[in-house]
Amino acid sequence: MVQAVLVMLAVAFIAFTMFNFVGDPVAIMAGQDLPAEQRVELRKTLGLDDPTPVRFARFVANAAQGQFGLSYRTTEPVGRMILDRLPATLELSLIAVLVALVIGIPMGVFSGLYPHHWISRAMMTVSLIGISLPTFLIGILLILIFAVMLGWLPSFGRGDTVKIGFWTTGFLTVSGWKAIILPSITLGLFQMTLIMRLVRSEMLEVLRTDYIKFARARGLTNRAVHFGHALKNTLVPVITITGLQLGSIIAFAIITETVFSWPGVGLLFLQSVQAVDIPVMAAYLVLIGLLFVLINLIVDVLYFVVDPRLRSQGAKAGAK
Amino acid sequence: MTSPKLLEVRNLRVEFPTRRGTLVAVDDVSLDIAAGEVLGVVGESGAGKSMTGAAIIGLLEPPGRIAAGEIRLEGRRIDNLPYNEMRKIRGRQIGAIFQDPLTSLNPLYKVGDQLIETILTHLPLTQAQARDRAVKLLEDVGIPSASERINHYPHQFSGGMRQRVVIALALAAEPKLIIADEPTTALDVSIQAQIITLLKRLCREHGTAVMLVTHDMGVIAETADRVAVMYAGRIAEIGPVQDVIKRPHHPYTIGLMGAIPTMTHKVERLTQIDGSMPRLNAIPKGCAFNPRCPKAFDRCYRDRPDPMPAGNSLAACWLVEEKAHV
């Protein structure tokens, strides 16, 4: 927990320094012909005259309340802007991870159980494509095939959305579901192949262990041996990787969102970079840092659920 | 006529096809085990003892395969059964105990769940009945406060305790035969004796036959009714344990017995058998033991001996035939 807080402080510090290094905000905000007195005035009202530690403390305090100031580009509150777009990115990432897990794990299990089957070989070859093709190319290819040539699915946007509180969801409309298919496949394909290869190699490893041999010697059914005993033992590394990848999916949704004009945080970030909109960039950085930290915490908790050996070590460490 | 033999192995041959030719791990092995009998199988590493056990229970690791011969359990041929038929025999008719208790149990499941799972796979019991049976099994193998320990994970048990759990698992569905592959090798010497005594007692109580694979002659002498000595994939000598120990016929067995320290009389040096067992891809023509045999003569380099009657035992040695002629 202490570690998590330290990580967040470090991320905040980096985000904060961006303000100082990417030029003078006053020079950017104010026009060239603003008198010098007014510049000083503006500087004072914005609190830019205070010493660095004080300003950093203020930044952290505001960030903790979700306040990152006003956007230079649109003069909207940054927190609002991000919050408006966050549901789009989270929904996209969620579907991408689900696609990756739901397809990747069974494929990995199959190719682990029957490594010489032709289907396994075919999957391994296809997975090479998934790993080596860049995301934007996959996205463009999918658009070309399914949106342009076949015309089945939309090539951009979220479709119709429904607003529930602050959360806008595309899950409640048909066009929303249609719109999410291509971007989520694009985003999840790399993760899917990664998970498939990971599960495969873990399965191969676990199937060689003594307890699997002993489980067979006890006359358990193949289903019990493969899915009860073998698969559960492959899950610890899969959870780790999925957790880490979930973070990167959210962070690297930037590219997919750009290709599909998906109105999410990634697209916002890219637009902000082009406009040197530092408050938005800083907020995005802090947000992604926070997501990574949260995901890692969840992953650690999941370890304890899956592996009893860690539980007792934790208990022992707690008793000391 | 019903066969009195529980298990019959006839001319078993196990092969491992490799890129550089086929290795024969078990070659023309025949042995019987009667109901309730303990058959010890001894031999050096790579002599084919574990392979014989794995072939009987149908768990040879690919690419290993049974190339010839047959295995019968109570007269029914089991070496060519489809996978799912054989699976029903494993655990129910033939149990197995492996060398390393530390790795034989799945670390992610409570020992009770592993026991209940095995029981429910083979016996028509309810969950609650299976649980009672699991507790009773743990008590049987000498685990204190079994009803509590049943909810513990394997890592919460010591090595000796884990091997007791493994034995309980092997006995869970009352199999008629247990293949115990070096059940004590990974354990402390003091624990070894306990586990062997336990195994012996349980098998006597349940009338279970045991094929005890080990390289520890001491364990065999204490436990087994009969013993098979294996060398380079073949049986060198097989017979009642007292005969094999006191009156060995095969020069290899004679060498083995000479290499065992005894308490009764003092010897300056234990005898040793010069050389080492040939590799599986370089087994000499004739008798596989001929390069190391002190009594080898020309026929041993020419023809391979099959086990032939020698006293109460069978020994695969031409000397036996020579003596019979004299």
Which is nearest to B222 in space by CA: B199, B206, B238? B199
CB-nearest to B91 from A218, A222, A307 is A218
The predicted structure's pLDDT at residue B49: 86
Residue with tokens 């083995």: B256
Q: Do A217 and B108 touch (CB under 8 A)?
A: no
Q: Do A219 and B105 touch (CB under 8 A)?
A: no
The predicted structure's pLDDT at residue A29: 65
Banded model confidence at residue A320, pLDDT cuts 50, 70, 90: very low
Banded model confidence at residue A22, pLDDT cuts 50, 70, 90: low
**The CATH number of the domain covering residues in A78-319:** 1.10.3720.10
**Structure token pair of residue A27:** 């020079």
Q: Chain B contact for A44, CB < 8 A?
A: no
* Kind plus residue range of the DSSP H or E element containing A59: helix A52-64
The predicted structure's pLDDT at residue B266: 67
Contacts of B103 in chain A (CB under 8 A): 209-211
Q: What's the gap in Å between the CA of A218 and the closest CA on chain B?
A: 4
Q: What is the mean pLDDT of residues A165-181?
A: 76
Per DSSP, the three-state class of B66 is strand
A175, pLDDT greater than 80: no
- CA-based angle B162:B167:B172, to the nearest 5? 120
Instruction: Compute the mean pLDDT over every residue in chain A, rounded to the nearest whole number.
Output: 80
Q: Is ipTM > 0.85 here?
A: no
Q: What's the gap in Å between the CA of B144 and the closest CA on chain A?
A: 21
Chain A with chain B: Cβ pairs closer than 8 A = 82
B66 strand-pairing partners: B14
Which is nearest to B198 in space by CA: B235, B170, B226, B232? B170
How do B94-97 and B177-181 pair as beta strands? Answer: parallel
**pLDDT digit string, tens, across residues A264-308:** 888 888 888 887 777 888 888 888 888 888 888 888 888 887 777
**Structure token pair of residue B202:** 């349980």
CB-nearest to B104 from A210, A222, A307 is A210
Q: Chain B contact for A140, CB < 8 A?
A: no
**pLDDT digit string, tens, across residues A68-79:** 777 777 777 888
Cβ–Cβ under 8 Å, residues B22 and B193: no
Contacts of B177 in chain A (CB under 8 A): none
How many Å from the N-terminal Cα to the C-terminal Cα in chain A?
18
**DSSP per position, B282-316:** GPPSS-TTTTT-TT--HHHHHSPPPPEEETTEEE-
Q: Chain B contact for A309, CB < 8 A?
A: yes
| Cα separation, B256 vs B43, whole angstroms | 9
The predicted structure's pLDDT at residue A28: 64
A221, pLDDT greater than 70: yes
A319, pLDDT greater than 50: no
| Cα separation, A59 vs A77, whole angstroms | 15
Q: Which 113-132 residues of chain B touch chain A by CB within 8 A?
A: 117-118, 121-122
pLDDT, one tens digit for every residue, chain B (326 residues): 344 688 888 889 988 888 887 888 888 888 889 888 899 998 888 788 888 888 888 888 878 888 888 898 888 888 888 888 888 888 888 988 887 777 888 888 888 888 998 898 888 888 899 999 899 888 888 888 888 888 888 888 888 888 889 888 888 888 889 998 888 877 788 888 888 888 888 888 888 899 999 888 888 888 889 999 998 888 889 999 888 888 888 888 888 887 777 666 666 677 777 777 887 777 888 888 888 888 888 888 888 888 888 888 888 888 887 776 65
* Kind plus residue range of the DSSP H or E element containing A251: helix A231-251
Contacts of B110 in chain A (CB under 8 A): 308
Q: What are the boundaries of each domain within chain A? A: 2-64, 78-319
Banded model confidence at residue A148, pLDDT cuts 50, 70, 90: confident
Contacts of B100 in chain A (CB under 8 A): 210
Per cent of chain A over pLDDT 90 is 0
DSSP B61: P
Cβ–Cβ under 8 Å, residues A8 and A289: yes
Which is nearest to A283 in space by CA: A262, A301, A305, A265? A265
Q: What's the gap in Å between the CA of B108 and the closest CA on chain A?
A: 6
How do B21-34 and B5-18 pair as beta strands? Answer: antiparallel
Q: Which 181-220 residues of chain A touch chain B by CB within 8 A?
A: 209-211, 213-220
Peptide bond into A106 cis (omega under 30): no
Q: What is the mean pLDDT of residues A45-54?
A: 74
Cβ–Cβ under 8 Å, residues B175 and B210: no
DSSP B14: E
CA A176 to centroid of chain Cα atoms: 20
Which is nearest to A48 in space by CA: A66, A30, A31, A32? A30
Least confident of A40-54, A94-108, B23-37: A40-54
**DSSP per position, A11-26:** HHHHHHHHHHHS--HH
User: Residues for chain B: how many in total?
Assistant: 326
The predicted structure's pLDDT at residue A204: 87
User: Which has more confidence, B217 or A312?
Assistant: B217
Q: What's the gap in Å between the CA of A15 and the closest CA on chain B?
A: 42
Least confident of A34-43, A54-63, A276-285: A34-43
